Chain A
């Protein structure tokens, strides 16, 4: 790999890592503020107030881990290490999705000012949506496996 190519990859890796940071670390931390920018006026402050409770506390740490993996993924592209890194990144993203969806069911208690004074426990089963979102990192994991273990003998591969 030439020096200019390496520098390009490093810059590209940081940019991609930054996007992962914004999506996987910054957004969970500031979910209420971000949602309030797009939510309708009649969505009360109390509804926005419960959003932080819906964020799994492990997400920011997992997001930082993903940042590193994405950086390495860009850096290692077209190298022998790309397959394993892609596999680990795919598994990491699947784990992140699993954590974000709390395993498929998100539970919370709604504020009484929006439920006519009644205590309301809400459980939302998002397993189907979680599996749809998990499909992409699953494909990445499969690709990483194929790259690591599945390249046929005699076939040329760019390094």
Chain B
């Protein structure tokens, strides 16, 4: 019985001491804080320094944290973990939590993350031991307002200019707002332009300097290969569809984006018309044919050179020819001229004139009926 009484006294002291120590630790509770300004973003990851301050008489050990950021559809976008680490009694430690972009994310999801501010769901599980008395686990959920590094990315209306030897300069205005506190966008961004068959038709470089939480606007100059040998582009205005593929340098990783680009093409031979014509006897077998043509060079950058010539048909038989006429038409200007040639005298008609244009960007022809 004396043994039990002694044990009871010891247990009483131990219980009181344990409860008192734990109570003091709770009252002088550990604090956790994060300073956004100290987040390190590099090498495909974000490192978030968490400060853990243990103020009570009992320290913390085996502190572990897992973190996940998901989008509104529940797709995990970023995952990270930290620990295990220990915080002795009455000490402060820096506890880094490293987060990386989830592997295998569709490019559309990455692009949305980079270009659209959105509310992400933060889930975290933390565990710590207060040796030897307690194990604390916490599960945390909440919203995190994600600022996109390329928010409101706008690729403006491209304009063609400065044609030379089959190439033109495509000038594209670009702007975006860097809403991210982590991504520093700085450096040379390579851009390539590809057509619907995935062939490269142009390339350019944009020097971007958009540090954290700043706005950017600039003009991208793309060395653009003008489409060749496409008859419809000689005579018809058209909207040419391309994809602009960007490699944007950041301090975390290189962003690869693809944005559609529509180039407004204005035809260099627009509203081609045949005016009045005359057929006068020339000799015993041929007559001279004269007629007027007019058109407008709608292009803002392409001066039309080359020549126009023709063949005269009666049905499917060639009965005459039109001599070559040298062209020199400035951009955005009208042309009118008189073409002449010879036609067989005995061709009863109706006559069809096939005009053929030979230009630096290709050949094209159109038929006109005389009479």
Contacts and interface: CB of A to CB of B under 8 A. Distances in A.
A117 B142 contact: yes
Contacts of A142: 4
B128 to A, nearest CB: 10
Interface stretch (B107-115, B131-139, B225-233): B131-139
Secondary structure type dominating chain B contacts: mixed
B134 A135 contact: no
B15 A133 contact: yes
A118 B122 contact: yes
Interface in A122-159: 122-126, 128-129, 132-133, 135-136, 139-140, 142-143, 146
Interface in B319-345: none
Instruction: State which size class the interface on B falls in.
Output: 20 to 34
A135 B19 CA distance: 13
A84 B138 CA distance: 43
Contacts of B15: 132-133, 135-136
A35 to B, nearest CB: 8
A128 B143 CA distance: 35
A142 B3 CA distance: 12
Contacts of B29: 43
B141 interface: yes
A124 B26 CA distance: 11
B37 interface: no
A128 B134 contact: yes
A118 B122 CA distance: 9
Contact of B133 (A117, A122, A126, A139): A126
Nearest to A146: B1
A43 B4 CA distance: 41
A115 interface: yes
A109 to B, nearest CB: 10
A108 to B, nearest CB: 10
A129 B138 contact: no
Contacts of A123: 136-138
A43 B27 contact: yes
A119 interface: yes
Interface of A: 35, 38-40, 43, 115-126, 128-129, 132-133, 135-136, 139-140, 142-143, 146
10 contacts: A119-B141, A119-B142, A120-B138, A124-B136, A125-B136, A132-B11, A132-B15, A135-B11, A135-B14, A139-B11
